[in-house]
Structure 1
């Protein structure tokens, strides 16, 4: 297939050490993944005729790469803290093009261009035993992401960015034939769009779960939890502003999913059978502008809600060194667009 050949280069470097009677370990790693080659403007299509002509597809040399540097620490037997895991990382996605003069959504820039997405973050997680039957898990999460375009075509534009912060606590309690899980998480985001407009929001998300070991081979489970997802940064290749500006609407909040699931797991004489049924509702579903040819200022908005329900069933049999498995799953999502411009339906129709 013309213009589909790529030169792929990747490597992983990892250095680590264990000390303190094996209770402390530090690992530093660096990953680089790179693709190089002559690509068309619409990389998923080759050159044919009509709208996919050689002139419109404008093949040019391009490089895309991802690098990730991660420092990780694991510690055990730290007094009240049974185990601690922590990491800090910096990740960069980069696109280099030798000539974007034929790429409209890239800005029609003649000559070399480079676009970067830089992500920095850190996590720290703790495990502590409380008595003989309770395991307490708690921690903090932080993530910052920024897009750096090759250039801005309009004044007063800034690099779009997003900051996510989270804190959580979860208790896992064993009482006889039951295991209970209860948790609470707080998530906060601060979003800054290309036009320097900012929105922020925070929510508490509880979770509950129970597993009952009914017999030696049969367990039943149920859980109910909430989770949020903050707005995503818009297409990195369009942050230059030449085809308009994508901002964010006042009062935009994170999507919030409510999930309920019941299930079972059965094991007997090498035979396994497990299944689950779930219900899900996502409130304040987010929609991004989809028409990439309109100028002016457009906004990401909360545009409706989504409902979904479905099931999963898996069976397996093991004898000696032979294992056979079979499974089936089905879901039934429904979109409820409450925005007057049907923004949510337009967004999901392109996924």
Structure 2
């Protein structure tokens, strides 16, 4: 923002404030819905975020991204085109991983899960067989027979899962461009300055499926069963008149903790609300002085511009844990 610009000049007319959402809701009480739990919009959004948003590593990641942006002289959409990710004071555009990268990460996740599941299952079965032996319901021969049977049942799965797990880690080190392969076009974009949420066509790079003011979208939590039948939740933004939905998994991965995604929804509202400063999270600290509302608020309250960067890792982790404990109780 130049010295001659005011805050009102900096933000577009479509920039989000809670009053615009309230007016839109009042004008559209009957609108299309989808399956899931519709989340509420807050009149004054809390300064909140997911557990991941408060990670200490985000300080270094954000600084590296900003160094690359400056070095390559990237602005606007060119930031994503040059770096395949954007997360700053103006916009959020998460990475769009290739099908191969997604597959590898899913396989690794399942391998880790089944590795520990079968290890636990083996020791549980051994404990049951030992119980029967000690209490006279079977002799030593029966116990050893059952032990070998359990070993041959679980060992092949454990070995395969361990090989896949460690093989994935090795591939991650030697071929990160494959393991973290990203497409050249984004999935979606949130822009604080314009107040617009843009959904891109996954089959046609950079072609917009929908671009509309953020306040016109309803947020939903949708659940689906995982391999063990437990509910896993995703955060979705849905435009009730265009009837287009967008999962936000790329930025906020599916989780069994719905409170974490409610915190993510609070984070997004705070991020887009130009009447309030940016969320005070580690990754956005180096950008706070560039956003006029945030800079003015930080100056009024005398916020240390290096609050997160001057903090040691243990202190950041303590705050992260406190936020997480609050999030898991959100409903």
Structure 1 length as normaliser, TM-score? 0.22
Q: Which has the higher helix share?
A: 2
Q: Which has the higher strand share?
A: 1
Q: Which has the higher contact order (CA 8 A, sep 6+)?
A: 2
Structure 2 length as normaliser, TM-score? 0.23
